[in-house]
Amino acid sequence: MDPEALRKYSALHPKPAGLTLQYGTAGFRSRAEQLDHVVFRMGLLAILRSKAVTATIGIMVTASHNPEEDNGIKLVDPLGEMLHPSWEEYATQLANAEEQELQNVVTEICQKAAVNLHKDASVFIGRDTRPSSKKLSQSVIDGVQVLGGQYHDYGLVTTPQLHYMVCCQNTQGQYGKATLEGYYEKLSKAFMELIKQSHCSGESQRHLKIDCANGIGALKLSEMKPYFPQEVLIHIYNDGTKEKLNHLCGADFVKVHQKPPGGLDMKPNERCCSFDGDADRIVYYYKDAAGHFHLIDGDKIATLISIFLKELLAKVKENFTMAVVQTAYANGNSTRYLQETLKVPVHCVKTGVKHLHHKAQEFDVGVYFEANGHGTVLFSKAAETKIRQLVKEEKDDEKRKAAKMLENTIDLINQTVGDAVSDMLVIEAILALKGLTVQQWDALYTDLPNRLLKVQVADRRVIDTTDAERRALTPPGLQEKIDALVKKYKLSRAFVRPSGTEDVVRIYAEADTQENADALAHEVSLAVFHLAGGKGAPPQP
């Protein structure tokens, strides 16, 4: 390591005085103008991580569903997964080090993580369409080059595409080709193989309207269009040519506001979906004949995929374990439907993709989705090997056909991370194969009415939770108060959890009617305000 070069380059990317940032589930997120020093230093960290694990590491410049003025950066580990938690701490340390300490912090990380600086290192870099992303990814390259690392800049890609490339590279091409063409070819081939089995001639032309949040999803879907078969007619809206990224559109907007995005004209019973700004989340929705809006969120997506996979697994007659992983935010009726009607085990974990992903790895087939539409399916190595073997060797026609459909699904799903494009193709294939309309899918179960609120507090750390964030341990008396409030309403539950990023406490409540869910959420928010050090005026109903 050349201390002089590090000093010189670091001076070109100075840290604003007094700024501290935290590497969280989504990496670093902030106003774009505050991030130059951070992305330069993440270039350094990616090289250290690459040397430590002798593999290619990914760096994605994006702030996902945040406003266009923001940006962010996250690192991708060798198999396309999120950065290892111990390195999240190094990232925070490095980002917040003062100029004169930088050299020492780098040396300290090398010692703690046993980094051999003489090893080769390589990094894959991607970015979203924000105005600030190009300049920030150039700063990443500065960091990579200071430590003598190799890099490949993929330019504009969706976040899941970068995760995919990293995984392909580090599995020596076993997962696929580490190019955009490789990604498009793998997904479109698996999709076409799957829908070949469809007997649904009634709707041979399947129209789908897609709101791309004025983000990267529009660019990449347009590139992928030539790979799609005639049966799929996708219509892209909010393609970024006229409006701002994520402004009144995108999966987050639709889920939070429970209404259609701007820029997309919906006719009754048309199938529509929204991606978020970096295309790693998807939600579906439609308007019924009476003009009412219906949202189909991550819970219902997980349910559709689970029905499909459970039927196929029953046909191949292998003893594969299957489970669905949710968080406390999953609608109570989705959990009930999965457990009681489908008879699929459901596990609840703490909020955050890494917790869901980790739990899903415990099963042969692990389906996980957050209610916000971020999710995927993981297949164990053993299950995947067995399924591919059945396709080649199984004599029984029905078993072999089911195994073939499972194999196509394995190739269609992006197992590294939630991927709006891949998830959309899986959903479209299942709807076609089962001959389901969007209304029939929605009618599997009815969501319990619910309400999300937040209360500002002086210090979010006063709230400590247990049981996958479903019960509060502190402050004393809060959980007892919540239990008493929940008893007042039918089919009700409520929980509180501290935000991961700001001094607010998030409240979730559901009950048999919207009125009761709203009342319960309000009463719980008052309890939080009084027992957990609320700031400002008490919450109003």
And the tokens for 154? 């993929």
132 annotated to a ligand binding site: no
- Tell me how far CA of residue 303 lies from CA of 336, 394, 464, in angstroms: 11, 29, 31
| Residue 413 in domain | yes
Question: Is 539 contained in some domain?
Answer: no
Q: Token pair for residue 136?
A: 């920030």
Out of 110-124, 202-216, 503-517, pick the least confident. Answer: 202-216
CA distance 53 to 55: 6
The SS3 of residue 245 is coil
**Do 274 and 244 share a structural domain?**
yes
**Angle between helical axes of 420-434 and 180-195 (0-180°, round to 10):** 10
On whether 371 is known to bind a ligand per the annotation, the reply is yes
Backbone phi and psi for residue 379, each to the nearest 5 degrees, phi listed first: -115, 135
Same domain, 275 and 240: yes
Any known ligand binding at 333? Answer: no
64 is catalytic: yes
For residue 49, give both structure tokens. 């991580």
Using one digit for the tens of pLDDT, what is the confidence trace for 77-99? 999 999 999 999 999 999 999 99
Instruction: Give the number of other Cβ atoms within 10 Å of residue 189's Cβ.
Output: 14
**CA-closest candidate to residue 463, choices 444, 479, 448, 445:** 479
Please provide the average confidence, as pLDDT, over all residues in the chain: 95
Structure-token pair, residue 199: 């007997």
Give the relative orientation of helices 159-170 and 420-434 as an angle to the nearest 10 degrees.
Answer: 90
Are 457 and 404 part of one and the same domain? no
What is the domain-level CATH number for residue 19?
A: 3.40.120.10
User: Rounded distance, CA 147 to CA 355, Å?
Assistant: 32
CATH number at residue 202: 3.40.120
Nearest partner of 63 among 190, 259, 216, 262, judged by Cα: 216
My answer on whether 81 and 134 are in the same domain is yes
Side-chain-facing half-sphere of 340: CA atoms under 13 Å:
8
Locate all alpha helices (DSSP H) within 417-466, ordered by sequence: 420-434, 438-442
* 440-466 pLDDT tens trace: 999 999 999 999 999 999 999 999 999
Q: Is 278 assigned to a binding site?
A: yes
- The tens digit of pLDDT for each residue in 490-530 reads 999 999 999 876 789 999 999 999 999 999 999 999 999 99
- For the stretch 311-339, pLDDT in tens is 999 999 999 999 999 999 999 999 999 99
Interval 420-447: pLDDT, tens:
999 999 999 999 999 999 999 999 999 9
Tell me the C-alpha distance between 319 and 139, whole Å: 50
Domain assignment present for residue 475? The answer is: yes
484 within a domain of the structure (yes/no) = yes
Q: Which domain holds residue 459?
A: 450-532
Q: Is 501 annotated as a binding residue?
A: yes
Has 414 been labeled as part of a binding site? no
Yes or no: say if 275 and 251 are a contact pair by the CB < 8 Å rule. yes
**Cβ neighbours around 155 below 10 Å, total:** 11
Residue that terminates a domain, selected from 296, 326, 345: 296
pLDDT, residue 352, reads: 87
In a domain, 161, yes or no: no
Predicted pLDDT of residue 206? 79
Identify the three-state secondary structure at position 48. Answer: helix
Which residue shows structure tokens 């909010």?
238
Q: Which of 64, 122, 133, 525 is the catalytic position?
A: 64
CB 50 within 8 A of CB 72: no
Assigned token pair, 113: 């993580």
Together in a domain, 309 and 282 = no
CATH number at residue 460: 3.30.310.50
Are 262 and 390 members of one domain? no
Is the distance from CB of 206 to CB of 231 less than 8 angstroms?
A: yes
Query: 472 has which bridge partners?
Result: 465
Query: Are 409 and 465 found together in one domain?
Result: no
Tell me how far CA of residue 394 lies from CA of 74, 197, 202, 400, 441, in angstroms: 43, 18, 32, 6, 32
Average of per-residue pLDDT across 396-408: 96
Q: What pLDDT is recorded for position 205?
A: 55
Q: Which two tokens stand for residue 27?
A: 């990496």
* Cα–Cα distance, 260 to 277 (Å, whole number): 16
Q: For residue 468, say whether it is annotated as part of any ligand binding site.
A: no
Where a domain ends, among 236, 263, 296?
Answer: 296
Interval 341-371: pLDDT, tens: 999 999 999 998 889 999 999 999 999 999 9
Rounded CA-CA distance 352/501 in Å is 12
In this predicted model, what pLDDT tens digit does every residue of 164-206 receive, in sequence order? 999 999 999 999 999 999 999 999 999 999 998 876 544 545 7
Annotated binding residue at 276? Answer: yes
Q: Is 258 left (phi over 0), alpha (psi -120 to 50) or beta?
A: left
**Is residue 164 one of the residues assigned to a domain?**
no
SS3 261: coil
Q: Residue 143: what are its φ and ψ, rounded to 5°?
A: -65, -40
- Predicted local distance difference test score (pLDDT) of residue 134: 97
Q: What's the DSSP call for residue 246? A: T
Q: How far apart are CA 61 and CA 379, in angstroms?
A: 28
In a domain, 176, yes or no: no
SS3 for 463-484 is CEEECCCCEEEECCCHHHHHHH
Which pLDDT does position 499 carry in this prediction? 86
CB 344 within 8 A of CB 313: no
pLDDT one-digit tens code per residue, 361-397: 999 999 999 999 999 999 999 999 999 999 999 999 9
pLDDT of amino acid 57: 98
Distance CA 325, CA 365 (A): 11
**Do 55 and 123 share a domain, yes or no?**
yes
CA distance 487 to 484: 5
Q: What is the pLDDT of residue 256?
A: 86
CB neighbours of 40 closer than 8 A, spacing ≥ 6? 9, 10, 12, 13, 139, 140, 142, 143
Distance CA 265, CA 243 (A): 16
Number of domains forming the structure of the chain: 4
Answer whether residue 428 is part of any domain. Answer: no
Q: How far is CA 428 from CA 1, 271, 287, 294, in A?
A: 51, 10, 18, 18
What is the chain's length?
541
Both 75 and 141 in a single domain? yes
Which helix (H) or strand (E) element contains residue 255?
A: helix 251-257
Q: Is 211 annotated as a binding residue?
A: no
Is residue 244 pLDDT above 60, yes or no? yes
> Is 280 within any annotated ligand binding site?
yes
Per-residue DSSP letter, 503: S
What's the N-to-C CA distance of the chain in angstroms?
Answer: 59
Match 């004949």 to its residue by tokens: 289
- Considering the domain architecture, whether residues 214 and 350 belong to the same structural domain is answered as no
Question: Where is pLDDT greater, at 65 or 385?
Answer: 385
Structural domain ending residue among the three candidates 296, 329, 348? 296
